[in-house]
Amino acid sequence: MRPYLGWCEGRVWWVEGGPYLWGMPTRPSKLPHVGTTIFTVMSKLAAEHGALNLGQGFPGFPMDQRLSDLVHAQMLAGRNQYAPMSGVPELRALLAKKMQVAYGFSYDPDAEITITAGGTQAIFTIITALVHAGDEVLSFAPAYDCYAPAVELQGATMKWVNLRYPDYRIDWHQVRAQITPRTRMIIINTPHNPTGMCMTAEDMSELQSIAEEHDLLVLSDEVYEHIVFDGGRHESAARYPELAKRSLVVYSFGKTFHNTGWKMGYVCAPAELTAEVCKVHQYNVFSVNTPAQYALAEYMGDASTYSGISEMYEAKRDVFNRALQGSRFRLKPAVGAYFQLLDYSGITDEGDVEFAKRLTREHKITGIPCSVFFPNLQDDKVLRFCFAKQDDELLRAAEILQSI
Ligand code: GLN
């Protein structure tokens, strides 16, 4: 067993496995409140108990074989050395065209697009490059868990606005009330993890006016851009030219092409902001997997590789939702991303972390407790289930949930 390094009155000690190392000077954790992410915790528990894992968000079906063939071909063709720091030109050119067609904003592929090792690295790099000690960064709770640690590591402070419960909409009056002269950045996430909420055109217009009024940067986490349901339109920050000028928009190939393990994404941002981001990017990643970038450039040349994703996931949401009709769980509206929230308050008043663990141990089904997405661990008795799975897996999951 790995020993656990503890902190006590300025001294390190081994809690397990000894020996105790009294007297060795050390310093406290830079992230004292951070433990292992809930995704890792729940996936491990699911594996230990042989549970159906709808916790951590990843597709339970293979990516297109053609994409693996293209990577293999690129490797055989010798594309195995460092890519240019900001990404291979063919891929950046294609993404610039994609952004222009989808959202109408022209990004310069050489100065305004950076290929990253996934969305999380992009977010960490942006925050490290642009947020200063003493700044405040505003975001919305519940929130994906990687924003706050990145902000705190800069010596900056997170300010939170809770999405309204139970509809998870943004209260812009509250946002205005939280802005101070120190506010530097707003982080938005649409479609939203974990709630599946999608920001509307009115939201974007509110955001733009607040950002302009207070001269704020916007970090727009849009990794689920291609997963929007019921005929809705993805409201990218890049659709609004005045907003795009102060925004860094983050995307993920993993979410779009069902290969989250590739850890590849990109950032689109005006040249001055991209230049700052690249100063950090070049020293923490330098450049991203070369053959995969060439393969993606070739693959994405055909827009049908990503244009039908919303429909595919909408059908999965509907399979899962229909199979849950009549259960004791209450379904929250899921209009984007690949998560379904289930309110279990009609079943028990157990805490959500305990309940999620008990479902895994006793019923062999795993979801994510939503309290972990709140800085104050607010427990609305809601679990998140990922429906990016094979239909038979969704039906088996629903059958278990029906029995609870
Ligand atoms: N984005 C994934 C989710 O929300 C998890 C990624 C991770 O495990 N860090 O489930």
Q: Whose CA is nearest to atom 4 of ligand 1?
A: 57
Q: What percent of the chain has pLDDT over 70?
A: 94
pLDDT of residue 13: 37
Q: How many Å lie between the centroid of ligand 1 and the Cα of residue 17? A: 31
Closest C-alpha residue for ligand 1 atom 10: 57
The confidence band for 22, taking pLDDT boundaries of 50, 70 and 90, is low
Could you tell me which of 183, 178, 175 has the C-alpha nearest to residue 135?
183
Q: Which of 337, 338, 379, 290 is nearest to 78 (CA)?
A: 290
User: Residue 21 pLDDT > 90, yes or no?
Assistant: no
Question: Is the whole model's pTM more than 0.75, yes or no?
Answer: yes
58 alpha carbon – ligand 1 mean position (Å): 7
What value does the CA radius of gyration of the chain take, rounded to a whole number of Å?
22
Q: What is the pLDDT of residue 28?
A: 87
Residues 282-294: what's their mean pLDDT? Answer: 97
Selection from 296, 228, 305, 276 nearest residue 132 by Cα: 276
Angle at 258 between CA 274 and CA 366, to 5 degrees: 110
pLDDT at 66 over 50: yes
Determine whether 226 is exposed, middle or buried from the number of CB atoms within 10 Å of its CB (0-12, 13-18, 19+).
buried
Question: Could you tell me the distance, in angstroms and rounded to a whole number, from the CA of residue 193 to the centre of ligand 1?
Answer: 9
- Give the nearest ligand 1 atom to 120 CA: 9
pLDDT grade for 4, boundaries at 50, 70 and 90: very low
Q: Which atom of ligand 1 is nearest to 43's Cα?
A: 8
Which amino acid, 204?
A: M
pLDDT in tens, 291-300: 999 999 999 9
> From ligand 1's centre to the CA of 260, what distance in Å?
9
Which band of pLDDT confidence, cut at 50, 70 and 90, is reported for residue 35? confident
Cα 39 to averaged position of ligand 1 atoms, centre (Å): 6
Residue 49: predicted pLDDT: 97
Distance, CA 99 to ligand 1 centroid (Å)?
25
> Shortest CA distance to 224 belongs to which of 323, 286, 313?
313
- Residue 12 predicted with pLDDT over 80: no
Task: Give the mean pLDDT of the chain.
Answer: 93
Q: Which residues line ligand 1 (CB under 6 A)?
A: 37, 39, 56-57, 193
Sequential DSSP letters for 229-282: -TT-----GGGSHHHHTTEEEEEEHHHHHT-GGG--EEEE--HHHHHHHHHHHH
Task: Sort 399 into a burial class: Cβ within 10 Å, 0-12 / 13-18 / 19+.
Answer: middle
Q: How far is the CA of 55 from the centre of ligand 1 (A)?
A: 9
Say what the pLDDT of residue 34 is.
87
Amino acid identity for residue 62 in this structure: P
Compute the average pLDDT of residues 374-402.
Answer: 97
Q: What gap in Å lies between CA 373 and CA 356, rounded to an integer?
A: 14
Question: How far is C-alpha 392 from the chain's CA centre?
Answer: 26
- The C-alpha atoms of residue 304 and residue 226 are separated, in whole angstroms, by 12
Cα separation, 46 vs 268, whole angstroms: 36
User: Which residue among 56, 121, 259, 341 has the greatest number of ligand 1 atoms within 8 angstroms of its CB, and so is best to mutate?
Assistant: 56
Residue 34: count of CB within 10 angstroms of its CB: 13
- Ligand 1 atom, smallest distance to 57 CA: 10
Q: Which of 34, 42, 43, 58 to mutate to test the pocket of ligand 1 (most atoms within 8 A of CB)?
A: 58
Over residues 322-368, the pLDDT tens digits come to: 999 999 999 999 999 999 999 999 999 999 999 999 999 999 999 99
CA–CA distance, 257 with 365 (Å, rounded to integer): 26
Residues 235/204, Cβ–Cβ less than 8 Å: yes
Instruction: Classify burial at 131, counting beta carbons within 10 Å of its beta carbon; exposed 0-12, middle 13-18, buried 19 or more.
Output: buried
The atom number, within ligand 1, closest to the CA of 368 reads 10
Strands 183-189 and 217-221: parallel
